[in-house]
Structures are given as C-alpha cells and as structure tokens.
C-alpha cells in the first residue's frame, strides 16, 4: 500500500520538480515547452541516439524513487516518423532490480531474469497498421497517449516475480512527455466526476482522471476521438501479450480480474460491461442529446 504522501496518486514531475533539474537529470536535446493545445508544459526529448538524449528520474542511478503505486501512467506522444525508447527500473520483493523497456525500435519481445523488452505499436488515426501489429517509426498522425502500466501484473505474468516499487525512469528520444504518475487507482479518461459517482466506480477502484493529469477535451468532443488509451497488460487478460498496443475496438472489459500470484486483489481492476452499461445510462440521463458512453 502506498505511503500517505503517495495517495491517492503521485504527480512525479511535480513532486520531484523536474524543471529544476536537481532531483532529475537530462542529457542531450531536452527542452521544456509550452503546449497551447494541452494548456501546459511538456518536455521534448529528441536525438539520433537514445543513449545521448534522455530525461532521467532520479538524478543518480544509485538512488530510488521508492514509488509503490500499482499503476504507472505515462502521458506522452512519440515524435512523428521517429523511434523512441523508455526504460523503467523496478524492484521486486526480493530486492531484484528488473528493467522494463518498451520501444517502437524493438521487433519482438525479449526476456531475461532482469530485463523485459516490449515492442510498442504506435496508434494513430489509421488503425490498420496497429491491427497488424507492425512496429516501426511513429506515423505522422500519431496521437497523444495515456499509457497505463500495471507493474505488479507485468512482473507476475512475465517473470513470476512480486513487485515492490518503482526505482527509476529513463525517457529517451524521441518523445513529447506531459507527465508521469503512480497510483493504486485505475483512472478512466472521458468520465466525469458526476458520472463516476452515479455509476459507483469508486467501489471498483476506478476514478475519473485527475485534472492535473488529464488531456483537455474541447466542448462537444470526446476524449477517445482525440487521444489513445492503452492499458498493459490488457484488461482481463491472463495470457501474456508480446507487444504494447492499443486495443481495437476500444476495450469494454468483462468481469474478469487479473490477480497477481500470492497477492490477491481486493478490488476489480477492469470496468465490467455492467458498469459500462450504467455509464451509458448516466450519459443518457445527463446529456440533453442522449450521448452514449465514450467506449
């Protein structure tokens, strides 16, 4: 269970004051920019070599973030027509450090006792390429993405290890990054606070996306029409997948619950079809035009 200072979520960039570069490190072409569409600061990491351009937390490799939240949220956009790379160092309950890497450079999944490498399929308005599972440079129309990594389940599924905490993060070129966050809550984009209350999502460990972590949605638009949402491992799956990719169509999970061996969950971590139906009903009740739920 996360310490009190990590609940209900921890905004990593804000907490560690990334912009001051005292508790974080940068190398190469890393710049803080103001994004008018996202209405805030983003970080652009670009370069020809992942080893030469990156943003790293914590600053020293001998230190640890010590973040225990189950889910890691990365709000990012791959640079169009480029390859990117992300490294996550996590610590198991028996103090083994495991590196989890994902990139659209990787052609296939590779695994050792201390390193998991996942190909990342960039989503875009053109879904055909992602359906075929083709990795490669990000397409020109690649979207901003909310990637949700269930770290205990990744370790349990792929290495049969038990998760302790997130030790470090290294964001390599070529990326735009809005934020990083850890939490034990499953944040669902495109759902308002009132809808969540009416559907009683809190009883299932699900909550609306906090404002400071959310992508803006113009009036009359829908979140899922503008951005990509990827959960990994995918909802309800107990079969390891060999790449990180968006589900098509947008997932509506069943009532299955993914449990880590030796660490049973007390709350479901997927939205059931029944909950989605209730959300759909909420939309009909609260919307003057009876808009259906955003799935």
In 29-143, alpha helices (H)? 127-131
How confident is the prediction along the chain (295 residues), in pLDDT tens digits per residue?
667 889 999 999 999 999 999 999 999 999 999 999 999 999 999 999 888 999 999 999 889 999 999 999 999 999 999 999 999 999 999 999 999 999 999 999 999 999 999 999 997 544 554 445 567 899 999 999 999 999 999 999 999 999 999 999 999 999 999 999 999 999 999 888 888 889 888 888 889 999 988 999 999 999 999 999 999 998 766 667 889 998 754 443 333 333 333 333 333 334 444 444 444 444 433 343 333 333 2
**Does any domain span residue 99?**
yes
pLDDT of residue 93: 98
Using CA atoms, how far residue 244 sits from 13, 95, 219, in Å, is: 24, 26, 31
Query: What tokens does 141 get?
Result: 């129309």
pLDDT of residue 118: 97
How far apart are alpha carbons 140 and 72 in whole angstroms?
A: 26
Q: What domain count does the chain have? A: 1
Q: Where are the beta strands (DSSP E) in the chain?
A: 9-11, 25-27, 29-35, 40-46, 54-57, 71-78, 85-92, 97-103, 110-111, 115-119, 145-150, 163-172, 175-183, 186-188, 206-208, 228-232
**Does any domain span residue 295?**
no
pLDDT of residue 238: 62
**Does any domain span residue 111?**
yes
CATH code at position 131: 2.60.120
**Does any domain span residue 105?**
yes
pLDDT of residue 191: 87
**Does any domain span residue 255?**
no
How far apart are alpha carbons 137 and 105 in whole angstroms?
A: 7
pLDDT of residue 54: 97
What are the φ and ψ backbone dihedral angles of 282, each rounded to 5 degrees? Answer: -60, -45
Count the alpha carbons within 13 Å of 269 in the hemisphere toward its beta carbon.
26
**Does any domain span residue 281?**
no
How far apart are alpha carbons 254 and 276 in whole angstroms?
A: 10
pTM: 0.81
pLDDT of residue 221: 94
Residue-number span of the structural domain to which 68 is assigned: 4-184+228-232
pLDDT of residue 272: 42
CA 227 to chain CA mean position, Å: 12
**Does any domain span residue 47?**
yes
**Does any domain span residue 217?**
no
């Amino acid at each position: 269970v996360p310490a009190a200072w990590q609940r209900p979520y921890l905004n990593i960039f804000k907490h560690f004051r990334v912009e001051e570069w005292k508790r974080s490190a940068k190398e190469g072409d890393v710049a803080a920019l103001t994004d008018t569409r996202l209405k805030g600061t983003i970080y652009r990491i670009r370069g020809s070599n992942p080893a030469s351009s990156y943003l790293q937390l914590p600053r020293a490799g001998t230190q640890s973030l010590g973040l225990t939240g189950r889910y890691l949220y990365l709000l990012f956009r791959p640079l169009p027509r480029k390859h990117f790379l992300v490294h996550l160092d996590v610590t198991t309950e028996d103090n083994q450090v495991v590196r989890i890497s994902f990139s659209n450079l990787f052609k296939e999944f590779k695994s050792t006792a201390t390193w998991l490498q996942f190909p990342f399929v960039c989503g875009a308005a053109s879904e055909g390429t992602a359906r075929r599972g083709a990795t490669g440079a990000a397409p020109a129309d690649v979207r901003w993405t909310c990637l949700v990594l269930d770290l205990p389940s990744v370790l349990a599924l792929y290495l049969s290890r038990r998760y302790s905490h997130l030790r470090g993060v290294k964001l390599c070129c070529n990326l735009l990054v809005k934020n990083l966050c850890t939490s034990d809550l499953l944040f669902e984009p495109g759902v308002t606070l009132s809808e969540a209350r009416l559907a009683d999502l809190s009883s299932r460990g699900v909550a609306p996306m906090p404002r400071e972590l959310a992508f803006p949605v113009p009036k009359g638009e829908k979140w899922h029409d503008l951005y990509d949402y990827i959960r990994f491992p995918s909802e309800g799956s107990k079969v390891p997948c060999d790449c990180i990719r968006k589900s098509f169509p947008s997932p509506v999970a069943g009532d299955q619950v993914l449990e880590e061996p030796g660490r049973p969950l007390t709350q479901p971590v997927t939205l059931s079809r029944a909950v989605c139906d209730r959300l759909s009903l909420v939309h009909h009740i609260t919307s003057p035009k009876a808009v259906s739920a955003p799935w």
